[in-house]
Amino acid sequence: MKVNPFITSGYISKKYFCDRKKEIASLQTYMRNGVNTTLVSPRRMGKTGLIHRAFEDLKDFGCVYVDIMPTRSIEDFNRLLSEAIFHKFPEKTSIGKKFWEFLRGFRPLISYDSITGQPQIEISYQMESQKPQTLKSILQFLNAQDKKIIVAIDEFQQITTYPEKNMEAILRSEIQTLNNINFIFCGSKRSVMYDMFSNAKRPFYQSTSFLSLEKIDRKEYAKFIVKQFNKSNITISKVCVDFILDWTKNYTFYTQYICNKLFSYSEKEITLKMVTHACRETLAEQATTFNQLRQLLTTAQWNYLIAIAKEGKITQPTAQNFLMKYKIGTPSNSKRLLKTLCEKDIILEQISLKETTYEIYDMFLYHWLLDNYDVI
């Protein structure tokens, strides 16, 4: 079966990856020069993909990737980090063998995932203090290897939710002593990430270089889309490509999704009718999710979302004409609603030197609101 050349989850290889030349080069330069890096962008922009893409060209490093989204504590962190090390250095490799020996000292319970065959590690601790100690030992183990190591920690903001309030301090003080490991700290909660790394009162203050991921260059994305279709002998006109990129505002995940759908139609030529059909079909598929979201929000929050969708984006949430047009109420009402929706990751706040803008980042939700609601 033909692989759909538009990936919508995970990473396969550079063959399916569009552009990001500058960002790949920056990340690689930082890594080759021992500079720890903080990688931030809104959700679904391509951070995780970029890490894997950069790793593909850093073959002389031992690149360990760990997604800590599901972790709730240092204990979970240790477990996922150990599993990620095994994922990178399987049992048969020399580092993998050494890591088994090393872990044995902790008397872990080891099981194997029935689907992936990957080891799953459970360490039982007698005392709380053993948890940070184990974390330090794992990092020191990596640091002692002949190979240079990179550890990418995805969804890094998650550590701020751990019951162990000193996780940041523990990690930071340990990292300072490691000269053979470089770190990539990756996250989408911009305000949390920036505060962690730019607040003078926090342990990680100014300890890394920042890399902020923006949208893929539109021209590059257009070329990529045509090329991916053409490789499978499918033609697509400039008009169709422009429609896709306008509709998704060339936001990575949403562009990939629509192109993936179009490819799945298995036609030799993509027409505008097919593109609009793919967009409509996508919105229909998402309707249940959006109706559920509606149940989770108050009427005022929902109406506020519709208002932002209708405006496209806003820069002045307390402007009289905006408040009046959408019956939002007082300026403080507006600020409160906006704050909650930003915290819920539904509205994206983007701060530049010139202004702060607010918009719905989920392009499917944005279009669905536009299609389903008239101005209130």
Ligand X SMILES: Nc1ncnc2c1ncn2[C@@H]1O[C@H](COP(=O)(O)OP(=O)(O)OP(=O)(O)O)[C@@H](O)[C@H]1O
Binding site for ligand X (CB under 6 A): 7-9, 11, 17-20, 41, 43-49, 188, 216, 252-253, 256
Which listed option, Mg ion, ligand X, none, makes contact with residue 49 (CB within 5 to 8 Å by class)? ligand X
Tell me the two tokens of residue 260: 């993936």
Q: Which of residues 18-57 bind Mg ion (CB under 5 A)?
A: 47-48
Q: Cβ 9 to ligand X, closest distance in Å?
A: 5
Give whichever of 48 and 134 is closer to Mg ion, judged by the CB atom. Answer: 48
Q: Cβ 297 to Mg ion, closest distance in Å?
A: 25
Give whichever of 54 and 138 is closer to ligand X, judged by the CB atom. Answer: 54
Give whichever of 48 and 250 is closer to Mg ion, judged by the CB atom. Answer: 48
Give whichever of 42 and 108 is closer to ligand X, judged by the CB atom. Answer: 42
Q: What is the bridge-based pairing of β-strands 119-122 and 149-154? A: unpaired
Q: Cβ 46 to Mg ion, closest distance in Å?
A: 8
Q: Cβ 340 to Mg ion, closest distance in Å?
A: 24
Closest Cα partner for 150 from 98, 71, 78, 89? 89
CB 338 within 8 A of CB 348: no
Cα separation, 262 vs 278, whole angstroms: 6
Which listed option, ligand X, Mg ion, none, makes contact with residue 211 (CB within 5 to 8 Å by class)? none
Cα separation, 267 vs 35, whole angstroms: 47
Q: What is the bridge-based pairing of β-strands 269-270 and 235-236? A: parallel
Tell me the two tokens of residue 354: 């010139």
Which listed option, Mg ion, ligand X, none, makes contact with residue 79 (CB within 5 to 8 Å by class)? none
Q: Which residue is nearest to ligand X (CB)?
A: 46
Q: Cβ 374 to ligand X, closest distance in Å?
A: 31
Reported in sequence order, the residue ranges of the chain that DSSP labels E, i.e. its strands, are 37-40, 62-67, 109-112, 119-122, 149-154, 181-187, 209-212, 235-236, 269-270, 347-351, 356-360
Which listed option, ligand X, Mg ion, none, makes contact with residue 317 (CB within 5 to 8 Å by class)? none
DSSP 326: T
Residue numbers at the binding site for Mg ion (CB under 5 A): 47-48
